[in-house]
Structure 1
């Protein structure tokens, strides 16, 4: 009971901070997520045993030139393609190898095309229509939160069949589909209340958030198992590190952004 209360309080504070930044200005939004990116980067570098000040410079440069003040749209597209491939390779290695090779030998690749790209595309999502629309990213966060919450509740109450026990013993197939149902329900509610995008778009984003968010959580779990740690940090009581809290949306953001770009192109 005490753990649930601590998790609820720290989670609520995190949500309030994020939503506040989203409804101020794009500059404040970018500033907050740059700070979050620095914290996550620090936790990730410690996890993969890499000491690098260059990584923080690359984070700043990527978020400025590829998100806040885009110098070339084709560069963003190329970065999206490369990041998507790296994330899919991480998924492949998570399933079929005992250790993720990129985790051991290609640390800068995962840093640039997984962690940094996660924040770049996360901050591009509310700008996919050409103007800053914070409601979009709020909706995406709600989809991720709903998936995580329903997966936890359904899995804890009804979970009997393990999803990937060797990577995450507590995740169950029932929890996965429960989380997906929660995300779809959230997508329907968002459609009814926010007045942006059609219902099929929100439901598709809910599926992307659920599937790729779960993969992102599993990839991070694999990293932590290889590193021999339980949490990536202790910055959030009851949640571990900030990377523990943002792992789902970091992994899913390139795929959500790609989907929104396709929707915009088709429309």
Structure 2
């Protein structure tokens, strides 16, 4: 019994600490890497319910009897569309795309930074001919040309949307199987009819880890040096090294 509890304790700590560290890293690298994935999971969950509620007929998996293929596919399509809109909208705010250098109690600090190449419109996309008739309904400033420039983040948002639609729901399926194994309906009862916080965060756990790994693997953003970042490194130096650094700075500036 003791070893069973010991094992469950370590698994719980691993899941909580690992996923929390990924979430925190995503937030420090830019709030957009936290908010967009969270919104994608919520959007997918809501529209899976909507499509399943009105058009669902084919069961998806036995662990979650209410999940349907119609809801799964409908949520996938709408989540990808939402990712396009959310990616373009949130990337217009410095607060979303600028990395956070240090902890602060200020709720909405005024952030300004040199834009990461991921957030600069540099990818040309050819406009299909069948969309050109829309120009008759659009104002002059929004007329569609032969091509449009998109920022790379939009494509990353689409990749995150596909993961949120195709893979992240299996976090919920795993949680459902876990609850069935212990013969419980929900992990908590904070939200009547919807369980507790853990019941709402099952897909977010997988999503946060994916975003952290995805960024580290496919998005090589150069580290932007700043005074705050340099000072944080200086604070870790010994007194002797600080004096040597001071002398070298004085020599370089003289």
Q: If the TM-score is normalised by the length of the shorter chain, which range does it land in?
A: 0.5 to 0.7
Pairwise CA distance, 1:194: 1.7
The yes-or-no answer on 1:139 pairing with 2:36 is: yes
Aligned to 1:202: 157
CA positional deviation for 1:266: 7.8
CA contact (8 A) 2:48 2:72 kept: yes
How many equivalent residue pairs?
162
Q: Is the 8 A contact 2:33 2:211 kept in 1?
A: no
Q: Secondary structure at the match of 1:203?
A: helix
Deviations 1:203-229 (A, max 9, x none): 001111222320111010011101111
Larger Rg: 2
Matches within 5 A, 1:222-233: 222-233=177-188
The two structures have a TM-score, normalised by structure 1, of: 0.55
CA contact (8 A) 2:175 2:202 kept: yes
Q: Do the aligned residues in 1 keep the contact of 2:83 with 2:158 (CA within 8 Å)?
A: yes
Does the 8 Å contact 1:147/1:181 carry over to 2? no
TM-superposition CA deviations, 1:209-252 (whole Å, max 9, x none): 22232011101001110111111101123321100111110122
TM-score normalised by structure 2 residue count: 0.58
Distance 1:192 1:104 in 2: 47
Task: State the Cα deviation string for residues 161-205 of structure 1 (Å, max 9, x = none).
Answer: 11112x111111111112212221221111221224522111001
In 2, the alpha carbon distance for the partners of 1:255 and 1:138 equals 14
Gaps of 5+ in 1: 1-48, 51-102
Please say if residues 216 and 252 of structure 1, whose CA atoms lie closer than 8 Å, have aligned partners that are also in contact: no
Matched, 1:234 2:167: no
1:87 corresponds in structure 2 to none
For residue 265 of structure 1, give the secondary structure of its aligned residue in structure 2. coil
Preserved contact between residue 233 and residue 241 of structure 1 (Cα < 8 Å): yes
Q: Name which of 45, 53, 71 aligns with 1:175.
A: 71
Deviation at 1:104, TM superposition (A): 8.9
CA RMSD in angstroms comes to 2.4
Any idea what the Cα deviations from partners look like across 1:112-169, whole Å, max 9, x if unmatched?
Answer: 33333222212221234xxxx223211111101110011010111111111112x111
Matches for 1:1-267 after TM superposition, within 5 Å: 106-128=7-29, 133-165=30-62, 167-195=63-91, 196=119, 197-265=152-220
Q: Is the 8 A contact 1:232 1:244 kept in 2?
A: yes
Distance in 2, Cα, partners of 1:138 & 1:257: 13
Match of 2:140 in 1: none
- Tell me by how many angstroms 1:105 deviates: 8.8
Contact 1:146-1:183 within 8 A present in 2 as well: yes
In the alignment, is the contact (CA less than 8 A) between 2:168 and 2:206 conserved in 1?
yes
Structure 1 SS opposite 2:204: helix
Report the Cα distance in structure 2 between the residues aligned to 1:252 and 1:113, rounded to whole angstroms: 16
Deviation at 1:262, TM superposition (A): 1.8
